[in-house]
Structure 1
Amino acid sequence: MIAGGGQGQQELNGIAGWAADVIDALGAVGVGLLIALENIFPPLPSEVVLPLAGFTASEGKVNVVAVIVGATAGSLLGALVLYGLGAWLGHERACRLADLLPFVDTAELDRATAWFADHGGKTVLFGRVVPVVRSLVSVPAGIERMPLTRFCLYTAIGSGVWNTLFVLLGYVLGERWTQAEKFANWATYAVLALAVLWTVKFVVGRMRARARSSA
């Protein structure tokens, strides 16, 4: 697969080259399979696959609507695999795992469970447009046995928005499709920064609580 770049024609390699080969061979179905795999294995970035698929569509090699539908179907398939993993794990196994982790206890897990019961729908819906979170959010949904119909609906809507955005970016940018990854990078940095701040706050709070309990 040859894609354009700022310096002219350029051979794709690595993940992008492999994804290009899959899309060339299988079209929209290949896009769906790649996105399903990305949901299960986040290091395979949809921020590369989707704009590349959009660029391929802009060259007339595949239909752009079929690409979006295929990507969203793949998102749902991958999410259901992780949902099933969470359902198999269940609340009791999750509690046993929590006992093995520092600074985590089952009471906190119970509070998180109650929070997810109240806000799980919004978490699944909006989590689909947040890098990293969009894959992991399926696991707690499975653990708490969110109704499957709701889970599929929220996943399809949220994933459809994300997929449409990046496919169309690749379609519009054409040979400059790699620039679409910059948008995802900004979102990833913001999420990571918030996650670090939350983790620090959580750990400090637990340490202070234990110190007060010991005193």
Structure 2
Amino acid sequence: MNEWVLRLIEGGGYWGVAFLMALENIFPPIPSELIMGVGGLAVARGRMDIVPLMIAGTVGATLGNYVLFLVADRLGYERLKPFVDRWGRWLTMDWGEVERASYFFRKHGGAVVFFMRFLPMFRTIVSIPAGLSHMSHVRFLLYTTAGAAIWNFVLVQIGRWAGKAFDEAEKYFGWATIVVAGAAILFYFWRVVTWKPTPS
């Protein structure tokens, strides 16, 4: 069994979960689906409690998104554009993508922040147009916290179900963590190497 994966989450405790969830929203070393899923598995094994796990995961996810929101809110379009132009390769995004996300945000309103929490590819980038449009900090935090809490609850329940339904769930979660984390890192470097800005 890949006991070490479960111990990685448990070893850091609830603070470790919060840190990983915050980091996942800036640079995803381990996807939130696996962080909270393994946390749910730990709950099923009686090694963690669901309430502090939910609090840690939700606070971490909200803080990670808030960092991006604050950067965009403070810099604004004029100062953020040169930053994206310069570091776009490492961010694997260009200004055209930021503008399209901003247009989508303005068209559909602040509730987009809530619904994007359920989409892995968009849950992070939506914080940027929200900041650029100077959305109310309170509204942003409420939408983000609500969306993150619901999604984290679903992930924890899946982990709990797997832990109760399968005796060797730890093994599968362990290998899934290794494979997905490795694939995420390789995909990031592939994006960096092959990335090209969108033609103006």
* TM-score with structure 2 setting the length: 0.69
1:72-151 correspondence runs (5 A): 72-94=58-80, 109=99, 113=102, 115-151=104-140
Are 1:42 and 2:28 counterparts? Answer: yes
Deviates more, 1:57-66 or 1:20-29: 20-29
8 A contact 2:101–2:129 mirrored in 1: no
Structure 2: which 5+ residue stretches go unaligned?
Answer: 89-93, 181-197
Aligned pair count reads 166
| Rounded Cα–Cα distance in structure 1 between residues aligned with 2:136 and 2:41 | 37
**1:29 matched to which residue of 2?**
15
Identical-pair percentage: 36
Task: Name stretches of at least 5 consecutive residues in structure 1 with no aligned partner.
Answer: 1-9, 186-202, 208-215
Shift of 1:94: 4.5
Query: Highest Rg: 1 or 2?
Result: 1
Query: Counterparts of 1:81 and 1:151 in 2: how far apart (Å)?
Result: 12
- Report what 1:213 is aligned to: none
Structure 1's 21 and 126: CA in aligned 2 closer, same or farther, altered over 3 A? same
For residues 159-187 of structure 1, give each alpha carbon's deviation from its aligned partner in whole angstroms, at most 9, with x where no partner exists: 111111111100111043647x7xxx9xx
Distance in structure 2 (CA, Å) of the matches to 1:152 and 1:81: 11
State the 1:144 CA deviation.
1.4
Matched, 1:167 2:160: no
With 157-166 and 113-122 compared, the bigger mean Cα shift is at: 113-122
Q: CA deviation at 1:121?
A: 1.3
**In 1, distance between residues paired with 2:48 and 2:142?**
26
Distance 2:12 2:69 in 1: 27
Query: Cα RMSD over matched residues?
Result: 3.1
Structure 1 pair 61/113, CA: closer, same or farther in 2 (3 Å)? Answer: closer
In structure 2, the CA distance between the partners of 1:59 and 1:76, relative to structure 1 (3 Å rule), is same
Measure, in 2, the Cα distance between the counterparts of 1:56 and 1:147: 36
Q: Distance in 2 between matches of 1:113 and 1:53?
A: 34
Q: Distance in 2 between matches of 1:36 and 1:62?
A: 19
Equivalent in 140, 148, 152 of residue 141 of structure 2: 152
Shift of 1:99: 8.6
CA, structure 1 residues 12+140, in 2 after alignment: closer, same or farther (shift >3 Å)? farther
